A and B are shown apart, each in its own frame.
Chain A
Amino acid sequence: MKLRRIKAIAVKESLQIVRDPRSLMIALLVPLMQMFVFGYGVSLDIRHLPLCLLDHENSQQSRDLLARFSASSYFSVQSVARSEREIAHELDHGFCQLAVVVPADFSQRLVDAGVTSVQALLDGTDSNSASIAAGYARSVVSGFSADVQLESLQRRGGTVQTQTPVDVEARVWFNEELESRNFIVPGIVALVMAIVGAQLTSLTIAREWERGTMELLVSTPVQPMELMIGKLLPYFAVGMVDASICLGLAVFWFQVPFRGTVATLLFTSALFLSVVLCIGYLVSTAIRSQVGASQVALLLTMLPTVLLSGFAFPIDQMPAVVRGATYLVSGRYYVLILKSIFLKGAGVSELAVPILFLALYAAAIVFLAARAFRKTLE
């Protein structure tokens, strides 16, 4: 392998990138756009859900509970219904997504049995938002019940002070928000990087075939490995800018708490980027038309990352075979790494295992991609 050749290719490829400002703009704008589209489209963190209330009891306690719904930023009360019929109408027409119904014996049962319940009716067309809405409703109710419990304990005597219920505290702390946006956005970063990274390189070989420059290139002493490294380097630079855009949006726009270090983040992102760039390159060596290569690259990165990286569908709930398949998806490791860095502040040592897997993955795919390119016209 000669550094001189790698440099010649990297310089040539960089010049071509710069000479094509339209493609460069696309390469930088697409991740920005995708972050917003996926970020808001998939983001399960819903605020100001249209809510409809129905209070059959109208007691002090039921009004207290409903006041909490009104005060919560998760919900915005659209209407106060007087009958089940009205509720059905509101839900059917999509005026509200969630209806909370307080039964007539709400506080009575609380006194009698110490337990009571409210009914939540959900618009299930969007099952994701529905389950999130249910989660929010539960957290509002559990906040309420914690206070009720606390109150009744205090009413019964002074000893309770010491055992102010820890689990109640925990339930209040349990924030549905963690389940949604904070968990989802790192996954979206991985998704966008996978798509954009593979797209960047999927055209690089196919373009040379289409323009007829490849025939001359393969007649030269250039080695497949040199060609690959030289071609990937400039795209690596572009890809790191894309990664910074995505990660920056995650932190500053979507406000995902960032507890790790920038160095760990950049290191692991560079590793993942190398993997997806190589996937794109691999596709490019196999498919000689630009359109075909770009479509296959999109399919190969988007589908597995959406379905099997664990960012949208929890891996531990998958059937064993499918779960096994997730180990073949590089996004799986990066999603795990990102979540750990963002939410737990994990460093390189805690992430040794997924980093190792990702590195092995990168090595394997570099090997494959370098071998896939044959210096022949056949």
Chain B
Amino acid sequence: MNGAARIVVDRLVKRFGDFTALDGVSFEVAPGEIMGFLGPNGAGKSTLIRILCGLLHPSQGRAQVAGIDVAKDPEAVRTRIGYMSQKFSLYNDLSVVENLRFFGGIYGVGRERIDARVTEAVSMAGLSGREDTLVANLAGGWKQRLALGAAILHRPPVLFLDEPTSGVDPESRRRFWDLIHTLGGEGISVLVSTHYMDEAEYCHRIALISGGRLAALGTPRDIKRLGKEAGAEAAEPTMEDAFVALVGQAQGGRAAA
């Protein structure tokens, strides 16, 4: 598995001064796999994604993306990933196409390919006919799809999406997840964090993070089963029930320890 995994996270620790934001997290993500990060506010989801993007240096442990150690060669990692940060980070004062051309140029997409890639990204985001609209004037759902389009202009094998659908209407969220699955189908590994329980169901596997630790890891069905074992009362616990039970158990366990 190790050889084939696109992302390898091995006993990863991240400290900010005295505060430990990540406390020995380990998991792997296979090619084409869609891995969901689920966890309460401050669990460490963004911190983990930032380490994997080479934006933060791990305090301890090891992380590999596309076969490259992120601490040793973050620059090599950067050519192989696409990233959507939690805060929208395209340029509001640039148009749709200007943004895409900019990121295409930055990611080093060749001149001969850039036009086709930009057109593709525009139609993928459903923005055909709005190529020259300033991004500031787009609604949330369009913005997020455009950001996704920008993140895959260079066809990276690994995609990090940090709460890409927060604050977006349900219809747009559904469309967004269709896109994620299309990308997974093309063999791209996607690591996506979310607050929405229903979205967790769309993932191949879920990593439930709480207080900087991995509280549970598995398919949505595994998670629900683990939730039941952790004390979720319903006969058929929902993702939400499982989440509450597992986070409670993780926090209780830590308090007891």
Residues of chain A whose beta carbon lies under 8 Å from any beta carbon of chain B: 2, 4-5, 7-9, 11-12, 15-16, 19-20, 211-222, 375-378
Residues of chain B whose beta carbon lies under 8 Å from any beta carbon of chain A: 50, 53-57, 74-75, 78-79, 81, 83-85, 87-94, 98, 101-108, 111
> Which residues of chain B come closer than 8 Å to A375, judged between CB atoms?
54-55, 74-75
> Which residues of chain A come closer than 8 Å to B54, judged between CB atoms?
219, 375-376
Q: Which of B55, B101, B107 contacts A376 (CB 8 A)?
A: B55
Expressed in whole angstroms, the minimum distance between the Cβ of B136 and any Cβ of chain A is 10
Complexed CA–CA distance, A16 and B105 (Å): 16
> Which residues of chain A come closer than 8 Å to B81, judged between CB atoms?
219
The chain A residue sitting closest to B111, CB to CB, is A4
What is the count of residue pairs linking A and B with beta-carbon distances less than 8 angstroms?
85
Expressed in whole angstroms, the minimum distance between the Cβ of A218 and any Cβ of chain B is 6
Contact A221 B87 (CB under 8 A): no
The chain B residue sitting closest to A377, CB to CB, is B55
Contact A213 B90 (CB under 8 A): yes
Complexed CA–CA distance, A376 and B56 (Å): 6
Whether A221 touches B91, Cβ cut-off 8 Å, given contacts A7-B105, A376-B56, is no
Whether A12 touches B98, Cβ cut-off 8 Å, given contacts A219-B54, A378-B57, is yes
> Which residues of chain A come closer than 8 Å to B104, judged between CB atoms?
8
Q: Which of B50, B57, B108 contacts A2 (CB 8 A)?
A: B108
> Which residues of chain B come closer than 8 Å to A221, judged between CB atoms?
75, 78-79, 106-108
Complexed CA–CA distance, A213 and B92 (Å): 10
Closest 4 CB pairs of A and B: A8-B105, A216-B89, A212-B87, A219-B83
Complexed CA–CA distance, A2 and B102 (Å): 14
> Which residues of chain B come closer than 8 Å to A15, judged between CB atoms?
93-94, 98
> Which residues of chain B come closer than 8 Å to A217, judged between CB atoms?
89, 106
Expressed in whole angstroms, the minimum distance between the Cβ of B62 and any Cβ of chain A is 18
Contact A215 B89 (CB under 8 A): yes
The chain A residue sitting closest to B99, CB to CB, is A12
Whether A11 touches B90, Cβ cut-off 8 Å, given contacts A218-B55, A219-B53, A378-B57, is no
Contact A376 B93 (CB under 8 A): no
Contact B106 A220 (CB under 8 A): yes
Contact A5 B55 (CB under 8 A): no
> Which residues of chain A come closer than 8 Å to B92, judged between CB atoms?
211
What are 30 A-to-B residue pairs whose CB atoms are below 8 Å? A4-B105, A4-B111, A9-B105, A11-B105, A12-B98, A15-B98, A19-B93, A212-B87, A212-B88, A212-B89, A213-B89, A213-B90, A214-B89, A216-B83, A216-B85, A216-B89, A218-B55, A219-B53, A219-B78, A219-B83, A221-B75, A221-B78, A221-B106, A222-B106, A375-B54, A375-B75, A376-B54, A376-B55, A377-B55, A378-B57
Complexed CA–CA distance, A11 and B94 (Å): 11
> Which residues of chain A come closer than 8 Å to B111, judged between CB atoms?
4
Contact A9 B106 (CB under 8 A): yes
Complexed CA–CA distance, A314 and B104 (Å): 53
Complexed CA–CA distance, A41 and B105 (Å): 48
> Which residues of chain A come closer than 8 Å to B57, judged between CB atoms?
376, 378
Complexed CA–CA distance, A335 and B91 (Å): 39
Complexed CA–CA distance, A49 and B74 (Å): 68
> Which residues of chain B come closer than 8 Å to A16, judged between CB atoms?
91, 93-94
> Which residues of chain A come closer than 8 Å to B79, judged between CB atoms?
221
> Which residues of chain B come closer than 8 Å to A212, judged between CB atoms?
85, 87-89
Q: Which of A15, A214, A221, A378 has the most CB of B within 10 A?
A: A221
Expressed in whole angstroms, the minimum distance between the Cβ of B96 and any Cβ of chain A is 13
Complexed CA–CA distance, A378 and B58 (Å): 11
Complexed CA–CA distance, A266 and B78 (Å): 40
Contact B108 A4 (CB under 8 A): yes
> Which residues of chain B come closer than 8 Å to A376, judged between CB atoms?
54-57
Expressed in whole angstroms, the minimum distance between the Cβ of A22 and any Cβ of chain B is 12
The chain B residue sitting closest to A215, CB to CB, is B85
Complexed CA–CA distance, A4 and B111 (Å): 9
> Which residues of chain B come closer than 8 Å to A9, judged between CB atoms?
102, 105-106
> Which residues of chain A come closer than 8 Å to B53, judged between CB atoms?
219
Complexed CA–CA distance, A99 and B88 (Å): 70
Complexed CA–CA distance, A104 and B227 (Å): 113
> Which residues of chain A come closer than 8 Å to B91, judged between CB atoms?
12, 16, 213
> Which residues of chain A come closer than 8 Å to B106, judged between CB atoms?
5, 8-9, 217, 220-222
Complexed CA–CA distance, A203 and B56 (Å): 24
Complexed CA–CA distance, A7 and B81 (Å): 22
> Which residues of chain A come closer than 8 Å to B101, judged between CB atoms?
8, 11
> Which residues of chain A come closer than 8 Å to B56, judged between CB atoms?
376-378
Expressed in whole angstroms, the minimum distance between the Cβ of A203 and any Cβ of chain B is 14
Contact A11 B107 (CB under 8 A): no
